[in-house]
């Protein structure tokens, strides 16, 4: 595998993000980058499963708001790295 400058930058960026920075999610709490990323991934997969089953009534606005806040916190964290 050839290591390009871009690939090296991505590897360094990923390593720096995994070093234990805490990310504050407004109204929810603090998470490590890895924990927050896994939590968002789990929630999105759950939404996908519910959608495939046609189960759209069991998720409320508050649950979607939490996912939105988590998503935005990840976005802001990654943009600032």
Domain count along the chain: 1
Find the domain containing 14 and state its range. Answer: 5-79
Compare 63 and 14 and report the one with higher pLDDT: 63
pLDDT confidence tier of residue 20, bands split at 50, 70 and 90: low
pLDDT in tens, 30-71: 999 999 999 999 999 999 999 999 998 888 899 999 999 999
pLDDT confidence tier of residue 18, bands split at 50, 70 and 90: low
Across 6-29, b (16+ Cβ under 10 Å) vs e yields eeeeeeeeeeebeeeeebebeeee
For residue 7 the two structure tokens come to: 């690939």
């Amino acid at each position: 595998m050839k290591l390009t400058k871009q690939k090296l930058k991505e590897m360094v960026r990923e390593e720096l993000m995994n070093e234990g920075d805490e990310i504050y999610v407004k109204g929810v709490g603090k998470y490590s980058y890895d924990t927050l990323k896994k939590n968002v991934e789990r929630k999105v997969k759950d939404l996908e499963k519910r959608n495939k089953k046609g189960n759209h009534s069991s998720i409320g606005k508050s649950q979607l708001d939490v996912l939105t806040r988590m998503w935005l916190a990840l976005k802001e964290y990654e943009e600032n790295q």
